[in-house]
Chains A and B, each alone.
Chain A
Amino acid sequence: MRGGAAALLLIAATMASGDERLSGTAFMSPETRAMQADDLANPGMFAVLEGARLWEETAGVSGRSCAGCHGDAAETMKGVAARYPAFDEASNAAVDLTARVNLCRTRHQDADPLPPEDPRLLALTTFIGHQSRGQKIEPDPDPRLQPWRELGARLFRTRMGQLNFSCANCHDDNAGRHLAGNPIPQGHATGYPIYRLEWQSMGSLQRRFRNCLVGVRAEPFAYGSREFIALELFLADRAAGMTIETPAVRP
């Protein structure tokens, strides 16, 4: 009841601002919201701390650290996650923050890329994302990203899997309703990487995509695939102006 009242207040406050979009936080229990709001209770803060350590640590043959080039992340990384995915000139493609960290490793640190969902990769992207906490999502307007934007928008509405669901079927058309008792959020990816209680670990937005795809019995796209980057960019557009929460806690 208390949770319902709090959620209503949150919804009322958001609607008063003329924006009816809600982050997944609005659909959580009061307990989980409290866990996210308290940095001493939020398990995602361990990833932030580990990321801060890795930021200073040298990697690869170059002997360079992230800090060696980028300096104090509190200044240089502020607002960066708010603008990703972004266009990468050298590869002539859209890249997300995860891909950017690995490009830095291979191009500048002479280090091997870290595998998908590697705890070090998640720690670094969580740490970088955290530098934008409280800032508005501001997608990269680069016109060269247009093909990814269009692909992402199309994929969001494409039915997939044996159960034949699109993202939009749940997150646009049925948000706020319940799938076996679990509220369906609006699909605004404002807090990634997240600490998900169901995983008992940190995970990327792409891991979350894969969960949904397996849930509808579809063949998931590969980590780092063009399709996933496109979906990430579409979701960034969809959540433009909403506030970054990294690291969010989700059920």
Chain B
Amino acid sequence: MRRVVAAAAAICAAGGVCAGEGMPPLTSTPGDPERGRAIVIDRETGLCLLCHSGPFPEVTFQGDLAPSLEGVGARLDAAALRLRLVDSRRVNPDTIMPPYHSTDNLNRVGAEWRGKPILSAQQIEDVVAFLATMTEVAQ
């Protein structure tokens, strides 16, 4: 398992779409990119820009703990994006990216959040649909 992950990471690092690693859609309703964008920029729903940056001019303060989301749709296909959102630990066990749709192996989760994923299955689909549109990189 570890070796497969490492191989996939190597392909990603070389650029282009990561092949061979991904997850099929979680729902039968296609994701809505517009709703996905709203989730990505919201500080309490997606929380993405606490760590990531990207072309979101209305968000003044963005993070630099994680790679920019610019062009992420060119680097990863929808299935690969979905896998990383649902539980990035499956790609890199040491990742700091929160598992957005998994409640496995968590510790001392606050009462308000216990047993609940960060995003619902449909919200994951919305975010995947939006990120997949982010194929452009500014010159």
The reply to whether chain A is a binding partner of chain B is yes
Which residues of A pack against B, CB within 8 Å? 158-165, 169-170, 173-174, 177-182, 184, 213-214, 217-220
User: Judging by beta carbons under 8 Å apart, are B107 and A158 in contact?
Assistant: yes
- Residue of B with least CB distance to A161: B109
- Residue of B with least CB distance to A181: B61
User: Judging by beta carbons under 8 Å apart, are A161 and B50 in contact?
Assistant: no
A177 to B64, CA, bound (A): 6
User: Judging by beta carbons under 8 Å apart, are A180 and B43 in contact?
Assistant: yes
User: Judging by beta carbons under 8 Å apart, are A164 and B98 in contact?
Assistant: yes
User: Judging by beta carbons under 8 Å apart, are B110 and A178 in contact?
Assistant: no
B6 at the interface (CB under 8 A from A): no
User: Judging by beta carbons under 8 Å apart, are B109 and A179 in contact?
Assistant: no
User: Judging by beta carbons under 8 Å apart, are A181 and B65 in contact?
Assistant: no
A204 to B106, CA, bound (A): 27
Name the distance in Å between A231's Cβ and chain B's nearest Cβ.
13
Q: With A164-B99, A180-B43, A180-B50 in contact, do A174 and B65 touch (Cβ < 8 Å)?
A: yes
Chain B contact residue count (CB 8 A cutoff): 24
- Residue of B with least CB distance to A173: B96
Q: With A162-B118, A217-B110 in contact, do A179 and B98 touch (Cβ < 8 Å)?
A: no
Name the distance in Å between B101's Cβ and chain A's nearest Cβ.
11
A165 to B107, CA, bound (A): 10
Name the distance in Å between A154's Cβ and chain B's nearest Cβ.
12
User: Judging by beta carbons under 8 Å apart, are A182 and B61 in contact?
Assistant: yes
Task: Name the B residues within 8 Å of A220 (CB-CB).
Answer: 110
User: Judging by beta carbons under 8 Å apart, are A179 and B110 in contact?
Assistant: no
User: Judging by beta carbons under 8 Å apart, are B106 and A181 in contact?
Assistant: no
A162 to B104, CA, bound (A): 10
B3 at the interface (CB under 8 A from A): no
User: Judging by beta carbons under 8 Å apart, are B108 and A179 in contact?
Assistant: no
A162 to B108, CA, bound (A): 8
